[in-house]
Amino acid sequence: MRRLCAWVLLVIAIAACSGTPDLEAPPPLVLDDPTDSLAPIDPSIIESEVRYDLEPAVASLEKAVPRAFGDIEKKQVVETNKRLHVAFAAARTPFVVQVTGQRVSVSTTIEYEGRGWYKPPIGPELSSACGTGANVERPRARVSIVSQLSLTPEWSLAARTRIASIEPASTEERDKCRVTIFRFDVTEKVMGATRSVLEKELANLDKNIAKVQTRARFERWWRDMSRAIRLTDSVWFTINPIDVKLTSIRTEERTMVAGLRLTARPRIETGNRPNDFDLFTPLPRLLRADSGGGQLRVTLDGEIDYGVATGMLRRALVGKEIPIANRKLTIQSVDLLGIGGGRIALGVRFTGGVVGHMYLTGTPSYDVQSDQLLIPDLAYDLRTSDALVAGLAWLKDDAIQNFLREKARFPVNNQLDRLRLLAERGMNRDLTQGVRLVGKLEKSEAVAVRASRTALRVRAVASGSAYLDIDKPLTLRPAPQKKP
């Protein structure tokens, strides 16, 4: 009996000595996250056109300039001859408007009649007339007014209106008003009176156009464009406008069209709603810029939760066998962890030649060809290496590291495509009343990745085009002139 017990104890001891070794490595040290190292992308260009309805301004000029002026019965002394007096009466046709580039041309035709009186030293007063009476062709003059339109750096409209010409309609005798008996031409008198009437009203027109409040509307648009737009739960689109430039001014019929180029850094991000007050910036001054092409580039900032990433890796790795040093290790489970410093840890639990738990660490990167995230520098964590003491040194063979470097990867395309489609849908919307953002995004590219302690951050760039559709023109209604 004593010999049997000794034999049993010997078998148990041999079994214990030949048992599968264990490895339980401690987890890696956790560091602080570095400052965001994902550099911002180049700014985007969003084109737009703002239209100004000039009709009220033209109507204001039409109303301000009298259709008839002068009085054929009201004598006016001729400065060069005190014995000579003249009178005239004129009537104009409605203004005709033509537009070319930034210039608005307004023209009218004036028909007038004139009369002269002469008081000789001896004898009764003499008189003579032109263009008076029924069925008489009156002399004519053509008036041309030119207005140059522009936008000021303070977002106000500026007009510089001047009389381009006042001249007889033709060289024919009909268009001259010469009081022949006195050899005095009334034409210049009529031209001077017409100029005096117009110059006063044109100066008032320019002043009143400058008073039209347009900046407030642009400030409201700028503020509305700066707000965060909810795309879906915890996904936000921000336009982040930076600057705006005036690229061109042209006119179409009775509308002035200002070409604007908005510079922005559109972005899709996940998480809490961005604070509007952090996004708001003052409306910049409107400066000129050459017209030129530009592209929309939207930053797609996505996060892959470590729980989600772990699930993808488990589906790819659990149950896989790794041959090493005439042994086999079978992966039971894996966990992906953020350890700060831009690095991640892959915890691997296994059975087979060894039973236990080890950690490998590395820096994730994006592989363009496979469109996947991988960890090309995955290697044993220092604390795991220290645990590989005598008897387990064979685990330091590169087989485990190489296998996991090859297999520990996961696609990001679905995540980025989802963000791109959300961005495109979110872009095509009304930003404020009468202002709609219209855009199109192509496939995302230029993916960068950074590991934080809480998630894998993925940044991509989606290129495309966009413009602001402003459906209603700004109406220029000059303030009515105050009566004295």
In the chain, what are the domain boundaries? 22-43+213-478, 56-210
Question: What's the pLDDT at 241?
Answer: 92
List, in sequence order, every beta strand (DSSP E) within 368-433. 372-374, 379-380, 409-411, 429-432
Q: How far apart are CA 260 and CA 466, in angstroms?
A: 13
Among 243, 283, 282, 279, which residue's Cα sits nearest to residue 260?
243
- Beta pairing partners, 358: 348
Please report which helix (H) or strand (E) contains residue 402, including its range. Answer: helix 398-407
Q: How far apart are CA 175 and CA 141, in angstroms?
A: 7
Question: What's the pLDDT at 46?
Answer: 87
Q: Which amino acid is residue 280, in one-letter code?
A: F
Question: What's the pLDDT at 19?
Answer: 55
Q: How far apart are CA 236 and CA 91, in angstroms?
A: 64
Question: What's the pLDDT at 284?
Answer: 94
Q: Sort strands 296-305 and 267-270 into parallel, antiparallel or unpaired.
A: parallel
Which residues have a Cβ under 8 Å from the Cβ of 66 and sit 6 or more positions away? 197
Q: How far apart are CA 447 and CA 424, in angstroms?
A: 18
Q: Where are the alpha helices (DSSP H) in 229-365?
A: 276-279, 306-317
- Beta pairing partners, 258: 50, 249
Using CA atoms, how far residue 103 sits from 247, 286, 292, in Å, is 16, 20, 23
Q: How far apart are CA 212 and CA 474, in angstroms?
A: 10
Q: How far apart are CA 385 and CA 351, in angstroms?
A: 18
Using CA atoms, how far residue 299 sits from 265, 429, 446, in Å, is 8, 18, 10
22 touches 355 (CB < 8 A): yes
Q: How far apart are CA 355 and CA 20, in angstroms?
A: 7
Query: At residue 415, what are phi and psi to the nearest 5 degrees?
Result: -60, -45
Enumerate long-range contacts of 350-354, CB under 8 Å, 24 or more apart: 350/322, 352/20, 352/321, 352/327, 352/328, 353/20, 353/324, 353/325, 353/327, 353/328, 353/329, 354/20, 354/21, 354/22, 354/23, 354/327, 354/329, 354/392, 354/395
Question: What's the pLDDT at 236?
Answer: 87
The token duo for 326 is 């005439």
> What distance, in Å, lies between the first and last C-alpha atoms of the chain?
135
146 touches 80 (CB < 8 A): no
Query: At residue 284, what are phi and psi to the nearest 5 degrees?
Result: -75, 165
Query: At residue 374, what are phi and psi to the nearest 5 degrees?
Result: -140, 175
The token duo for 409 is 């990867």
List, in sequence order, every beta strand (DSSP E) within 201-326. 229-232, 235-238, 241-252, 255-264, 267-270, 287-288, 296-305, 321-324
Instruction: Give, for all 484 residues of the chain, the pLDDT tens digit.
Output: 444 344 333 333 333 444 567 888 899 999 888 776 566 677 888 888 888 887 887 788 888 888 888 888 888 887 777 888 888 888 999 998 887 777 888 899 999 888 888 888 887 887 778 888 778 888 899 999 998 888 899 988 888 889 999 998 888 888 887 765 556 677 777 888 888 888 888 888 888 788 777 888 889 889 988 999 888 888 888 889 999 999 988 877 778 888 899 999 888 887 789 998 889 999 999 998 876 666 788 888 777 889 988 998 999 999 999 988 788 899 999 999 999 999 999 999 999 888 999 999 999 998 877 878 899 999 999 999 888 875 677 787 888 899 999 998 887 766 777 778 888 887 888 887 778 888 888 877 767 888 999 888 888 888 888 888 887 777 665 555 554 4
